[in-house]
Structure 1
Amino acid sequence: MNSINRTLDILSFVTTCASPITPQTISKELDIPLSTVYRLLTILINWEFITYSKQYGTYTVGAQSIKTQEKYYHHSLLMTSSKSELHALAKKTQETAAIITANLRETICVDKIDSEQAVRCSFIVGHGNTVIRGASAKTLLAYRDEQYQELVFETHAKQLHKDNYLQKLKQDLIQIRQQGYGISVGEIDAGVFGASAPVFKGNDILAVVSVMAPEFRAVNRVDELIKATCQTAQNITKLINLE
């Protein structure tokens, strides 16, 4: 991984952590030499992407984070094109619907319409989840090119080599590309079914539309939930590419 990707990996990791983090933890979790961590932190601090925490020896997100959220929701092509379609999907399925993007480190939920019916779902707007498990993550990864996938595999090498999961993941990615959507049960939250379909800008995947429901409610509606999710993703793709 080159220095640019390492810098962004550190930034992504710090923004994901619920509390301030030490350089030693960053080094251990990201498998980056401690001297390199300090060097890259200095760059991020100079640009105010990272700042010193009130807890001695730890770091947290900098003032740049204050400038970004409102602009993203106001100007993003994805957000302006997806809102009404996401509401329609949640109303049609009576389940939780979300728009999810990803980077090399994690998926990021950027919008979500909660179901009026109960569902224990860890997807929270602005928060991240693993990029190697679950329907959303795997669908996002399936439509990336081989070079991008290899970077993800490199970034998550430790987790992927447990129980030969890398081989299973690669098989899942091929299947998702073939069928045009991804599904999972219990990979992120126990007992939760997920269906995801890709949203494209041109030929590039931009995000996924996902529906989440308790497995017991979804078991007799799998085809219906998949169809509704895929249709919504196609509708958003059309809107995006008309812009």
Structure 2
Amino acid sequence: MSNTNDKVFIILSQVATYGKPVSVKRLSKDLNMPLSSLYRYITLLKDWLLLEENLSTREIYIGSMSLTLASNHERAKLENSEYQKALERLSNVTGETCMFMVPAGYHALCTLCRESSEALRCSFEVGQTQPLIKGASSKVLLANLPKERQKKVAKYYGLNFHDLQWQQSLSKTRRDGFSISTSDYYAGVVGVSVPIIRKKHLCGAITIMAPSERAKKGFERVIQDLMNEASILCGSR
């Protein structure tokens, strides 16, 4: 577990990943955190209405203040729709599911998604997360985060930050400017992701997901379409 300053946010992000009320015991097990410590942080989050509790079941869930923040984010997103338009263009051209992912704590978080119209498609939802070490989106985000942030992620997932193979993988992803994964997080799914960097700041990553069978046919063109769109976004003001 990370330092004290991180723990409140780790708890909040973990509760958000469940998508439904959860018992404190389950949360304690998943985070490997003692119940006594966990209750102390939960109390703080409840005071700020970031978490709330069902008095009958004693389960906790995302609170009204968190929902207010999410609502404000949705309004801001509508005002700045360039990413949404980019995903629409990509989905129309490639026919595949496209997402915009951002690093959130120790996870990659989907903030925008445009699903494929194909009968056989890869599904992803706004608000869905995945570990910041698995999948094309996560790897391309992690590779472009500051070293100190990478160290925290490595420690959180029990990885050796100084492992030569791991460091070489991060360096290669940065040099390539994209990441490809096959069945890395979801079986039978190919993902390609490109970082969006403006003024040396990592804004997020745009990602295309496709069933591996369909990805075998002409996916090089899909990669080029993704790179072109990313280039436009990176140059946006």
The answer, yes or no, to whether TM exceeds 0.5 is: yes
User: What letter is aligned with 2:13?
Assistant: S
* Residue 178 of structure 2 is aligned to residue 181 of structure 1: yes
State the alpha-carbon separation in 1 of the partners of residues 215 and 147 from structure 2. 33
Q: CA deviation at 1:185?
A: 0.8
Question: Percentage identity across aligned positions?
Answer: 28
Equivalent residues of 1:132, 1:169 under 8 A apart: no
Task: Decide which of 200, 203, 206 is 2:203's aligned counterpart.
Answer: 206
Equivalent residues of 1:100, 1:209 under 8 A apart: yes
Equivalent residues of 1:100, 1:136 under 8 A apart: yes
Equivalent residues of 1:20, 1:55 under 8 A apart: no
Moved more, 196-205 or 76-85: 76-85
Q: CA deviation at 1:79?
A: 4.9
TM-align CA RMSD:
2.1
Per the alignment, residue 41 of structure 1 pairs with 42
Distance 1:78 1:97, change over 3 A: farther
Deviations 1:71-126 (A, max 9, x none): 21221499522121111111111211111112223221111111111344352112
User: What letter is aligned with 1:173?
Assistant: L
Q: CA deviation at 1:67?
A: 1.0
Per the alignment, residue 70 of structure 1 pairs with 71
Distance 1:24 1:87, change over 3 A: same
Q: CA deviation at 1:235?
A: 1.2
* Residue 225 of structure 2 is aligned to residue 224 of structure 1: no
Mapping 1:1-243, distance limit 5 Å: 1-76=2-77, 79-157=80-158, 160=159, 169-239=166-236, 242=237
State the alpha-carbon separation in 2 of the partners of residues 78 and 196 from structure 1. 25
State the alpha-carbon separation in 1 of the partners of residues 172 and 74 from structure 2. 33
Q: CA deviation at 1:19?
A: 2.9
State the alpha-carbon separation in 1 of the partners of residues 165 and 184 from structure 2. 13
TM-score by length of 1: 0.88
State the alpha-carbon separation in 2 of the partners of residues 62 and 70 from structure 1. 13
Distance 1:144 1:175, change over 3 A: same
Q: How many residues align?
A: 234
State the alpha-carbon separation in 2 of the partners of residues 190 and 88 from structure 1. 26
Equivalent residues of 2:137, 2:205 under 8 A apart: yes
Structure 1 unmatched ranges of 5 or more? none
Moved more, 134-143 or 31-40: 31-40
SS at match of 2:133: coil
State the alpha-carbon separation in 2 of the partners of residues 74 and 84 from structure 1. 16
State the alpha-carbon separation in 1 of the partners of residues 126 and 64 from structure 2. 20
State the alpha-carbon separation in 1 of the partners of residues 75 and 21 from structure 2. 29
Q: CA deviation at 1:225?
A: 1.7
State the alpha-carbon separation in 1 of the partners of residues 205 and 224 from structure 2. 14
Distance 1:81 1:227, change over 3 A: same
State the alpha-carbon separation in 1 of the partners of residues 51 and 32 from structure 2. 19
Equivalent residues of 1:104, 1:151 under 8 A apart: no
State the alpha-carbon separation in 2 of the partners of residues 39 and 107 from structure 1. 27
Equivalent residues of 2:196, 2:233 under 8 A apart: yes
Q: CA deviation at 1:216?
A: 1.6
